[in-house]
A and B are shown apart, each in its own frame.
Chain A
């Protein structure tokens, strides 16, 4: 494990950005986003909860696939190049790092999504333990430990010290490249380090959504849940927007569309939302004709279909963004509480 005085963070950032593009949570119009670090960028370690997760950096909201062009009667086709920018994401929350694992299962399993794979290859994820989780957080329910974040490198910020622990080869490489600025942590640090993690644990146990039980969900709950008569009431407030989908670190659905530039056709893919009425629209129409069905689809996918196809891994990491951002205050927590076996414990 390495460490660094907080006062030297700017130095660290400068070093990293010297090698690869560095992105970290910065405030834009009062909202937190991952933004490119430049000298003088204000970084506030106490603010970690970005509106959108780190997903964008591997699976951008919109990306070009191929370009068709017709001259006279000939047609020329140009494929978009795989992204090549090496980058580092700093300050990723434990839940978002976990979210990437969910995306990996979708995009890196056969057939491999080369765009995603390239970005994963080029990107180093430096996570940060959540010193101050929020009332909307429930990552614990999905086996995420905010005190022990994953990623390529895990970091902790205890008082005036940054602790740095590589978790992967990519992490090792980055750490090696920074060895002259990072100091090795010694025995004396262990105390403070442990105390810090304990403090986090304590808060996690105190979270209002702590203890949310997933009993009754999972791959084999299809029959039990699909036909539940609670869906209509649950979905009544849903206005069918895509906010929950677009702030979600694990939603991975996209649509492929063509755009006629007037000089040729650009084929691109962009995020889609199962909450939209034109999601998976086909010639005959839409398979899910009502908002109830669309609503059910989203949560069934996260809590039943996804685990069914991924050895029990859920399609939710408890980041709490949908809880905070839904215009109608509808969210997965309410679904879990309403449909879970201990629904009445509420």
Chain B
């Protein structure tokens, strides 16, 4: 990791120097052991650019604002393989001006989920060392250790693999995490439950929602200039979940609005302060689309057509859900 970070920093410097980019979009150290923060770099602060196993944040969405307007210059964005899917999807939707972006694909061997470390009872984390698949976590209460793959982010456990789908150059080799599982396992598990159990499960999860909008604001697909939930004239604006219905409503509509556009980047689940497995909603829609309308990966190409804006005359009838999936 150290080495790649070094490579990237050097390359970023070159890009700025050569004028190939006016700014670099990357991560800077946050002060803790696990909080690299999105930042824009120029020659005078590029030294602060870091890349490590906690750079999970998907930077593609920042490019919407950054490439707006005539005056904005060229940005070199550091994107991990899975981030480039979001980037492509945003290109599909004309949300990013491609000419103003120089994509530097950065290799990734799986990002770490600090919440999973904390869930193991690792408290007061002061530093983390990574060595051949194991982490040593230095805490206020002594050193702890665990295998890396056990604390990978959800998205990395079921990594799309296959490297960058959009980039102008790659720095550091294209790695994919060693643990690649069936990403629909969680959905299938829920589908196998009875409706009552499914209902109880989601009530339990969604009832924790504090409507902070972190999932929405972090989501690259939720790029609306004004969200329907913030628009008093939309008829569904709300700032808080006054009751169960609004918890359901917000998440159903959000999942539906990003249906066919969600690249499954996993930011929603990463940022949720309450640890609600929101990816299970998006993946359900992805799974349904794959099963009913053929495999589709949003953002795989900059011109892919979402399954919700296309059709075939032979499409399954809606009552297909009465027969398939979901225990009764």
Contact = CB atoms under 8 A, between A and B. Distances in A.
A272 B239 contact: yes
Interface in B216-245: 216-218, 226, 230, 232, 238-242
B242 A270 contact: yes
Q: Of residues B57, B210, B216, which shows the largest number of chain A Cβ atoms within 10 Å of its Cβ?
A: B210
A160 B119 CA distance: 24
A236 B119 CA distance: 30
B140 A329 contact: no
B210 A62 contact: no
Contacts of A236: 38-40, 62
Given A30-B275, A241-B216, A328-B37, A135 B210 contact: no
B123 A255 contact: no
Contacts of A57: none
A61 B214 contact: no
Interface string A286-326: 00000000000000000000000000000000000001010
Contact of A329 (B30, B217, B240, B267): B30
A29 B204 contact: yes
Interface stretch (A70-78, A168-176, A203-211): A203-211
B242 A242 contact: no
A28 B37 contact: no
Q: Is the interface of A mostly helix, strand, loop or mixed?
A: loop
A203 B140 contact: yes
B94 to A, nearest CB: 21
Interface string B164-202: 000000000000000000000000000000000000000
Contact of A28 (B61, B208, B216, B230): B208
A239 B204 contact: no
Given A268-B242, A327-B214, A135 B124 contact: yes
Nearest to B276: A29
Interface string B131-162: 00000000111000000000000000000000
Contacts of B30: 329, 334
Contacts of B271: 241, 243, 327
A271 B241 CA distance: 10
A52 interface: yes
B274 interface: yes
Contact of A132 (B32, B123, B210, B239): B123
Contacts of A52: 210
B204 A28 contact: yes
Q: Of residues A206, A239, A240, A276, which shows the largest number of chain B Cβ atoms within 10 Å of its Cβ?
A: A239
Interface string A220-263: 00000000000001001101111101110000000101010000
Given A29-B204, A206-B140, A241-B212, A327 B217 contact: yes
Contact of A246 (B57, B210, B217): B210
B204 A243 contact: no
Interface string B62-97: 100000000000000000000000000000000000
Contacts of A17: none
A252 B276 CA distance: 25
Contacts of B273: 31, 51, 243, 246-247, 325
B49 interface: no
5 contacts: A28-B208, A135-B139, A237-B39, A246-B273, A257-B239
Interface of A: 28-31, 33, 51-52, 61-62, 132-136, 203, 206-208, 233, 236-237, 239-243, 245-247, 255, 257, 259, 268, 270-273, 276-278, 323, 325, 327-330, 333-334, 337
